[in-house]
A and B are shown apart, each in its own frame.
Chain A
Amino acid sequence: MNAIQFILAGMLAAATPFLLAALGELVVERAGVLNLGVEGLMALGAVIAFIIVYHGGGHLIGFVAAGICSALLSLVFAIIALVFRANQVAAGLAIGILGQGLSALFGKSYESLTVKGLPRLALPWFSELPIIGGLFTQDIVVWFSLAGTLAIWAIFTFTKTGLVIRAVGENPKAAHAIGYPVILVRTAAVAFGGMMAGFAGAYAAVVYTPLWADGMIAGRGWIAIALVVFGTWLTGRIFLGACLFGAVSLMGPAAQATGMDVPSQLLSSLPYLVTIIVLGIISADRRLLKLNGVASLGEPFER
């Protein structure tokens, strides 16, 4: 197996934590809310899922519980930032730190323990293809994430729900004037984003690297937030961005596996370097940001 095959085979799984969290944050930001607590919400989801799976609750219940707990924590953010109109940046950071603290607390006695991951399901015929065959052998969560990406794209493109979310994000005053419950829509979006962050964390802890270590989310929540901007609030671009980060994060192991002589520190810092560079390039094109950006992002809504 050469480096390219290795990266292709692992890319989607590596991308899944980024993708799930970024899709959630996309919905939140499209509704006009900036939730910077994704890292902490992922950490909470991760520890909850790990504890349940470790005690034999199974992956399904682990994911569901992680989604519910992170959604509940994000609702605390919604109450502070939307109902009491606190500064969204400060409230998001606080909730993020709280989530990381909770995950360290709950995970204390599970440090370095492992669980069993999920089996990989191969798509018949496609997985036999040369070179790219590895792309089509993935665990079930990856397949669900791909379906979820499509679903979110379809919701924003074709459905009234998507239209309402976009309207609330673009001009909350007008949305209120024509009779939509702005705060309720935003709260629902935040809860959805929290749930997706919980799933992302759960995937990282019980499927991708089924081992508990404090701080295992390791900045992936922040990259997910950057991905939303990186993808200029478009589902397809966010998916491509997540794949890129998945691939970049595999370069370290790929280099080791093929015996290339590159310092591992450099390789493991690659995702962050790529984030900085790509964000710089995207932000240089103000047109793109303005056309797809969310006009009321981060602004509290008052009647």
Chain B
Amino acid sequence: MSQPLLSLRGISKSYGAIRANQEIDLDVAPRSIHAILGENGAGKSTLMKLIYGVEQPDDGTAAWKGEPLSLASPAEARHRGIGMVFQHFSLFETLTVVENIQLVVPGRKAELTKRIRTLGRDFGLEVDPFAHVHALSVGERQRVEIIRCLMTNPKLLILDEPTSVLPPQLVNKLFDTLRRLRDGGVSILFISHKLEEIRAICDRATILRGGRVTGNVDPREHDAHDLARMMIGRDMPEPIPALPLSGGERRLEIIGLDYTPDDPFAVPLSSISLTVRASEILGIAGISGNGQSELSALISGETVLKREQADRIFMMGRDVGTLDPAARRELGFAFVPEDRLGRGAVPEMSLLLNSLLTAHPLKLLKHGLINRARAAAFTNDCIRQYDVRTRGPDAEAGSLSGGNLQKFIVGREIMLAPKLLFVAQPTWGVDVGAASAIRQRLIALRNAGMAILVISEELEELFELSDFIQVLHHGTLSPPLLAVNTKPEEIGRYMIGAEPAGEKASA
């Protein structure tokens, strides 16, 4: 191998007691697409922040084209030729595309506009330079980020989970762009936890687990099972099949719901219709930002419909459109929101008190006072059954890792034995083993007769769980598709708003 473009030796970084990166060695060759593979929490994002100078390592050395490199700030990283596309974009919503680019790239507006158009043509990254960012789709925002990086002429481009926000068709388009960039002399660091993608595009992969390097391989020479073993330290658990069941009574029904939020940046919903029956899982696919938060707030009762708009949302046969969340829960509804801190749990309160928030009807109160013994028993049950790693019911919710807190919240809601369970992003930030445990539990509950609604960005997860899938795009919902008869590409076409049959995908 020729001299590496970037080379790291013994890089370590700790946040308090958490050792996010330990003695990381990494060599990135010129003109290569190099994967950093690992589960959530393996230390991928931390490592990228260190390379891009957003944070500084505690220990270790770095070299750039053989010369020592110390990265004190993102500005310096960019000056050296390192560009980064963030997972959660660093764009400014109230500015236009060209203004966003002007913040990073020197030059006059007219000249930049021309360069944006040329780059768009050359690399398949078309975007309107004068559009306001808040009006762009997630895929377009990603293109803006990539263009912004490319205009600084980087030698190394870091992409943090770039495909997590894209439908399948656009993933292939992104890969074309990346190959063209590599052929043009740019090295790419590609962060992902999706094995097939890495096998499709990368010529080198460094695998992280628990903050350490556990492998350094050519991904094309290994199959997904090998890579998974290096990533999680054991074989992937096999999914359990769902029993074919005929639908039971309707537990949730939404009929022709139109809703325009007050917030101008929020997505208006139009003619939303869906039905979830007993013993059935309905999955809602779609890239986030297409109305998911608005729809979930309407279902959970955080947003209440105006009286004249009633008779749109029914639970267990009752019109609930104007009822608050507590009244809906009394009917047998339970809800796991997408953000665990703040909506799913109160970070400053102990797990025991957090159990009380929704589980108090399970006789955890006595004459209006807390029955601590029962509440502790409930919390301990939940911790044990759902494998929550914590020091006990008195631990603050905020002290748990995201995945563990998610397991606790999902467990708490399931233990309420609801008739209708609504889970938004069930396995966000949860490690692979625990995620599959949560999914298996949901399927078991469905087999036992629960009606379950799941919103998720992960298509594979929805296919594993759902009986039916509906796709949310720009605030409208596709018709329900029978999951076993549907291909991911069909879902993908709905995700980008193209016609389902025959039409060419254009977005």
Determine if chain A interacts with chain B. Answer: yes
Q: Nearest Cβ in chain A — how far from B183, in angstroms? A: 27
In the assembled complex, the Cα of A287 lies from the Cα of B262 at a distance in Å of 7
Whether A173 contacts B103 by the Cβ 8 Å rule is no
The stretch that binds A, out of B92-100, B270-278, B459-467, B477-485, is B92-100
**Chain B residues within an 8 Å CB radius of A173:** 90
Whether A179 contacts B74 by the Cβ 8 Å rule is yes
Query: 8 Å CB contacts to B: which residues of A143-199?
Result: 160, 163-164, 166-167, 170-171, 173-180
Whether B104 contacts A178 by the Cβ 8 Å rule is yes
Whether A177 contacts B262 by the Cβ 8 Å rule is no
Give which listed residue, A163, A290, A295, contacts B103 with CB less than 8 A: A163
Whether B102 contacts A170 by the Cβ 8 Å rule is no
Whether B78 contacts A179 by the Cβ 8 Å rule is yes
**Chain A residues within an 8 Å CB radius of B93:** 170-171, 295
Whether A171 contacts B78 by the Cβ 8 Å rule is no
Whether A171 contacts B92 by the Cβ 8 Å rule is yes
Contact with A along B343-363 (1 / 0, CB 8 A): 000000000000000000000
Whether B102 contacts A174 by the Cβ 8 Å rule is no
**Chain B residues within an 8 Å CB radius of A218:** none
Whether A163 contacts B99 by the Cβ 8 Å rule is yes
- Among B102, B103, B264: residue with most chain A CB under 10 A: B103
Query: 8 Å CB contacts to A: which residues of B222-280?
Result: 262-265
In the assembled complex, the Cα of A268 lies from the Cα of B54 at a distance in Å of 54
Residue on A with the closest CB to B149? A178
**Chain A residues within an 8 Å CB radius of B425:** none
Whether B95 contacts A179 by the Cβ 8 Å rule is no
Whether B90 contacts A171 by the Cβ 8 Å rule is yes
Whether B90 contacts A290 by the Cβ 8 Å rule is no
Whether B74 contacts A290 by the Cβ 8 Å rule is no
Whether A163 contacts B74 by the Cβ 8 Å rule is no
Residue on A with the closest CB to B86? A177
Query: 8 Å CB contacts to B: which residues of A254-303?
Result: 286-287, 290-291, 295
Whether A174 contacts B91 by the Cβ 8 Å rule is yes
In the assembled complex, the Cα of A117 lies from the Cα of B222 at a distance in Å of 85
In the assembled complex, the Cα of A163 lies from the Cα of B106 at a distance in Å of 13
Check B303 for interface membership: any CB of A closer than 8 A: no
In the assembled complex, the Cα of A170 lies from the Cα of B93 at a distance in Å of 8
Give which listed residue, A166, A175, A178, A179, contacts B94 with CB less than 8 A: A166
Give which listed residue, B78, B89, B102, contacts A163 with CB less than 8 A: B102
Give which listed residue, A174, A176, A286, A287, contacts B92 with CB less than 8 A: A174
Give which listed residue, A166, A178, A287, contacts B95 with CB less than 8 A: A166
Whether B90 contacts A177 by the Cβ 8 Å rule is yes
Check B119 for interface membership: any CB of A closer than 8 A: no
Check B288 for interface membership: any CB of A closer than 8 A: no
In the assembled complex, the Cα of A220 lies from the Cα of B274 at a distance in Å of 56
In the assembled complex, the Cα of A178 lies from the Cα of B91 at a distance in Å of 9
**Chain A residues within an 8 Å CB radius of B263:** 286, 290
In the assembled complex, the Cα of A215 lies from the Cα of B232 at a distance in Å of 69
**Chain A residues within an 8 Å CB radius of B86:** 177
Residue on B with the closest CB to A289? B264
**Chain A residues within an 8 Å CB radius of B164:** none
Whether A167 contacts B74 by the Cβ 8 Å rule is no
**Chain B residues within an 8 Å CB radius of A163:** 95, 99, 102-103
Whether B264 contacts A167 by the Cβ 8 Å rule is no
Check B73 for interface membership: any CB of A closer than 8 A: yes
Residue on A with the closest CB to B89? A174
Residue on B with the closest CB to A180? B103
Whether A167 contacts B78 by the Cβ 8 Å rule is no
Give which listed residue, B54, B75, B94, contacts A170 with CB less than 8 A: B94
In the assembled complex, the Cα of A176 lies from the Cα of B53 at a distance in Å of 11
In the assembled complex, the Cα of A259 lies from the Cα of B78 at a distance in Å of 70
* With known contacts A290-B264, A291-B264, A160–B102 Cβ distance under 8 A: yes
Query: 8 Å CB contacts to A: which residues of B41-92?
Result: 54, 73-75, 78, 84, 86, 89-92
In the assembled complex, the Cα of A157 lies from the Cα of B89 at a distance in Å of 24
Whether B103 contacts A164 by the Cβ 8 Å rule is yes
In the assembled complex, the Cα of A83 lies from the Cα of B94 at a distance in Å of 27
In the assembled complex, the Cα of A277 lies from the Cα of B92 at a distance in Å of 33
In the assembled complex, the Cα of A171 lies from the Cα of B263 at a distance in Å of 18
**Chain A residues within an 8 Å CB radius of B94:** 166, 170, 291, 295
In the assembled complex, the Cα of A295 lies from the Cα of B264 at a distance in Å of 13
Whether B103 contacts A178 by the Cβ 8 Å rule is yes
* With known contacts A166-B95, A170-B93, A179–B73 Cβ distance under 8 A: yes
Whether B91 contacts A179 by the Cβ 8 Å rule is no
Q: Nearest Cβ in chain A — how far from B77, in angstroms? A: 8
Whether A287 contacts B264 by the Cβ 8 Å rule is yes
In the assembled complex, the Cα of A222 lies from the Cα of B102 at a distance in Å of 35
In the assembled complex, the Cα of A87 lies from the Cα of B370 at a distance in Å of 35
Q: Nearest Cβ in chain B — how far from A182, in angstroms? A: 12
In the assembled complex, the Cα of A177 lies from the Cα of B104 at a distance in Å of 11
In the assembled complex, the Cα of A163 lies from the Cα of B108 at a distance in Å of 13
Whether A167 contacts B92 by the Cβ 8 Å rule is yes
- Among A160, A167, A170, A287: residue with most chain B CB under 10 A: A167
Whether B92 contacts A170 by the Cβ 8 Å rule is yes
Whether A290 contacts B54 by the Cβ 8 Å rule is no
**Chain A residues within an 8 Å CB radius of B54:** 176-177
In the assembled complex, the Cα of A168 lies from the Cα of B95 at a distance in Å of 12
**Chain A residues within an 8 Å CB radius of B102:** 160, 163
**Chain A residues within an 8 Å CB radius of B89:** 174
Residue on A with the closest CB to B91? A174
**Chain B residues within an 8 Å CB radius of A177:** 54, 74, 84, 86, 90
In the assembled complex, the Cα of A180 lies from the Cα of B216 at a distance in Å of 35
Query: 8 Å CB contacts to A: which residues of B96-154?
Result: 99, 102-104
In the assembled complex, the Cα of A177 lies from the Cα of B93 at a distance in Å of 15
Whether B264 contacts A178 by the Cβ 8 Å rule is no
Contact with B along A22-38 (1 / 0, CB 8 A): 00000000000000000
Residue on B with the closest CB to A158? B109
**Chain B residues within an 8 Å CB radius of A286:** 262-263
In the assembled complex, the Cα of A176 lies from the Cα of B104 at a distance in Å of 11
In the assembled complex, the Cα of A174 lies from the Cα of B54 at a distance in Å of 11
In the assembled complex, the Cα of A171 lies from the Cα of B75 at a distance in Å of 17
In the assembled complex, the Cα of A180 lies from the Cα of B74 at a distance in Å of 9
In the assembled complex, the Cα of A166 lies from the Cα of B93 at a distance in Å of 11
**Chain A residues within an 8 Å CB radius of B90:** 171, 173-174, 177-178
Whether A179 contacts B75 by the Cβ 8 Å rule is yes
**Chain B residues within an 8 Å CB radius of A167:** 92, 95, 103
**Chain B residues within an 8 Å CB radius of A175:** 92, 103
**Chain A residues within an 8 Å CB radius of B92:** 166-167, 170-171, 174-175
Residue on A with the closest CB to B104? A178
In the assembled complex, the Cα of A167 lies from the Cα of B104 at a distance in Å of 11
**Chain B residues within an 8 Å CB radius of A178:** 74, 90, 103-104
- Among B78, B86, B90, B265: residue with most chain A CB under 10 A: B90
A sample of 20 more A-B contacts (CB under 8 A), given A163-B103, A177-B54, A179-B75, is A160-B102, A160-B103, A166-B95, A167-B95, A170-B93, A170-B95, A171-B92, A173-B90, A174-B89, A174-B91, A176-B54, A177-B74, A178-B74, A178-B90, A178-B104, A180-B103, A286-B262, A290-B264, A290-B265, A291-B264
In the A-B complex, list the 3 residue pairs whose CB atoms are closest, starting with the nearest.
A179-B75, A174-B90, A179-B74
10 contacts between A and B (CB under 8 A): A166-B95, A174-B89, A175-B103, A177-B54, A178-B103, A178-B104, A287-B262, A291-B94, A295-B93, A295-B94
